[in-house]
Structure 1
Amino acid sequence: MIYLILSILISSGLFVIFKYFGIFKVDVLKAIIVNYLVAFSLGFLLAERKIPITEIYTQQWFPGALILGALFISIFFVMAMTAQKNGVSVTSIAGKMSVVVPVFFGVILYNESVTFLKVIGIIIALVAVYLSSVKDEKSNNKGTLLYPVLLFLGSGAIDTLIKYIQSTHVDDRDISIFSGTLFGIAFVFGIIILAIKTIKKRTPFGFKNIIAGIVLGVPNYFSIIFLIKALQNKNFESSTLFTVNNVGIVIVSTLIGLLLFKEKFSVKNRIGVVLAVLGIVIVAMA
């Protein structure tokens, strides 16, 4: 249970950090690249069982880590953009209501329970994602709804893959080094993207981007570690655990958005927040 609580608190903190990225004009891509380098380093430094870097590619979980690394750099960028354009709580809801994806695959791959209540909860969750993301005011920014939708789908894919790889290929002693590897792969993809952008327009890396990346990298590493450790609990179905984890993050992040950043919500947004909690609780009860 302690790992689940820590996962909720640290993951909520990531949304706050991204919000401050916008406030302090941090270059998101550069900060994310540094963040992955920090998380990669922590993964190998804190590993219970040492595996030479030259042998990492021989591990059964390496192909999965490769896919997750590419998804991480993509979805983290989308998460940052969503937090800046839509707010902390909207970002949390769009990302964490993606629980419907691993719940669906939990039923398909692991024969987990499916009931009428669980289906109703998933439908309510999908409606909540839209209502919490849509803006009442007219805007020429077509990305306002696009970013939450991409975050929803991408986060669901990440959670599903993490559960599958953790349960089928990753030894308990290799959690840290597995996490470090996928962060390292994300770092490589990030460097490639940055190199392409630099060819088009050369800009200084910026000291504040390095600091921002370090601040992000430490909690990012532990958010994955605690989630994987929580998934090792055999007393809960993965669909139930993801549900409890995600609703906790939604609630904590929403409170942070309201209290710390004084975020304002339209009637639709408020209904979306309520439906998000309702939908995810129904899934848990089911």
Structure 2
Amino acid sequence: MIYLLLSILASSVIFLVFKLFDLFKINTFQAIVVNYAIACAAGIIGYAKPINLIDLPNYSWFGGTVFLGFLFILIFNLMAITTQRSGLSVVSVSTKMSVVIPIAFGLLYYNENAGLLKISGIILALIAVYLVSVKDNTSKLVSKNELLFPILVFLGSGIIDTTIKYLETSYVEQDDISLFSAVIFLTAFVIGISILIFKVLRQNEKIKFKNLVGGLALGIPNYYSIYFLVKALRNPQLESSVVFTLNNVGILICAVLLGILFFREKLSRKNWLGFFLALISIICIAIVKS
């Protein structure tokens, strides 16, 4: 359980850093690219064994990490497009509701327990995520022509979590978790830096020092959010459907509290209802595990 709590904490710090990006006008894409390099370095430092780059393709999970790294960059850009077309709330809901995909995968593929109390907790968690994510001041509706990008964000985010679970269960050895995480970020960095170089050379985009600092601040918690999530998924006492539900709802609650404490964000009645439903969902799932 401690690894799950640490993953929630690391992911909540990511939320805080992204909020600070807005405050200091940091170029998000540049910071994201630097963040992948820092996260990769953190994984390499945390790996106890010698690393031979030539041997990396020989690991059974290598192809999966390349796929995940590609998805990291792709979904980030899709989220940016969706934000521009449909608004931040649509992106938030699409991303958070995608937790239903790894939950369903755990229940169906791994035949995890699906008791009434557990299912009730998961359903309450999904309702809570929706209620907290949607803001009352979101007046813009999503047209049928704009549904494609939110759907792609939903599917992509869910596939990322599901793939991590599958690779962790089937291929990743306990001692290789740090290297596994590092290679995911390495792939994302290689793709990201290629795009950034194109922007610098063809679009005359300027790289600013503050964006590099932002990437440094983001990279460490980003790495540990994945690392601790994988460690939590390896806990034989926690089913993946429970881990993903508690992780998602835990991040949601921490994000709400951080927003209130540090940024004086206001919650509507709908948001507060979602907040308390999230707490109830955690209690339901905790009772199942006790």
Q: TM-score, normalised by structure 1?
A: 0.84
- CA deviation map 1:46-72 (0-9, x unaligned): 212223112211211011101111222
Return the offset for 1:139.
Answer: 4.5
The whole-number CA distance in structure 1 between the counterparts of 2:119 and 2:154 is 18
Change beyond 3 A, Cα 1:154–1:267? farther
Whether the 8 Å contact between 1:18 and 1:80 is mirrored in structure 2 is no
Whether the 8 Å contact between 2:128 and 2:274 is mirrored in structure 1 is yes
Q: Which residue of 2 aligns with 1:67?
A: 67
Q: Which residue of 2 aligns with 1:108?
A: 108
Return the offset for 1:151.
Answer: 5.4
The whole-number CA distance in structure 1 between the counterparts of 2:138 and 2:94 is 21
Change beyond 3 A, Cα 1:151–1:264? farther
Q: Which residue of 2 aligns with 1:172?
A: 174
Return the offset for 1:18.
Answer: 0.6
The whole-number CA distance in structure 2 between the counterparts of 1:112 and 1:103 is 10
Return the offset for 1:235.
Answer: 1.8
The whole-number CA distance in structure 2 between the counterparts of 1:186 and 1:218 is 15
Q: Which residue of 2 aligns with 1:9?
A: 9
Return the offset for 1:176.
Answer: 0.8
The whole-number CA distance in structure 2 between the counterparts of 1:102 and 1:123 is 14
Return the offset for 1:199.
Answer: 5.2
Q: Which residue of 1 aligns with 2:255?
A: 253
Q: Which residue of 1 aligns with 2:28?
A: 28
- CA deviation map 1:109-140 (0-9, x unaligned): 11101234444444444443433333333655
Paired residue secondary structure (1:260)? helix
Superposition map of 1:151-190 within 5 A: 152-190=154-192
1:175 is matched by which residue type in structure 2? I
Which runs of no fewer than 5 residues in structure 2 stay unpaired? none
Return the offset for 1:258.
Answer: 1.1
Q: Does 212-221 or 272-281 show the bigger shift?
A: 272-281
1:275 aligns with 2:277: yes
The whole-number CA distance in structure 2 between the counterparts of 1:123 and 1:195 is 44
Which runs of no fewer than 5 residues in structure 1 stay unpaired? none
Q: How many residues align?
A: 283
The whole-number CA distance in structure 2 between the counterparts of 1:269 and 1:81 is 25
The whole-number CA distance in structure 2 between the counterparts of 1:260 and 1:271 is 21
Q: Does 140-149 or 11-20 show the bigger shift?
A: 140-149
Percentage identity across aligned positions? 49
The whole-number CA distance in structure 2 between the counterparts of 1:150 and 1:264 is 30
Change beyond 3 A, Cα 1:131–1:3? closer
Q: Which residue of 1 aligns with 2:19?
A: 19
1:39 aligns with 2:62: no
1:264 aligns with 2:260: no
- CA deviation map 1:221-242 (0-9, x unaligned): 1121111112221122121222
The whole-number CA distance in structure 2 between the counterparts of 1:136 and 1:46 is 44
2:29 is matched by which residue type in structure 1? L
Q: Does 44-53 or 95-104 show the bigger shift?
A: 95-104
Change beyond 3 A, Cα 1:283–1:41? same
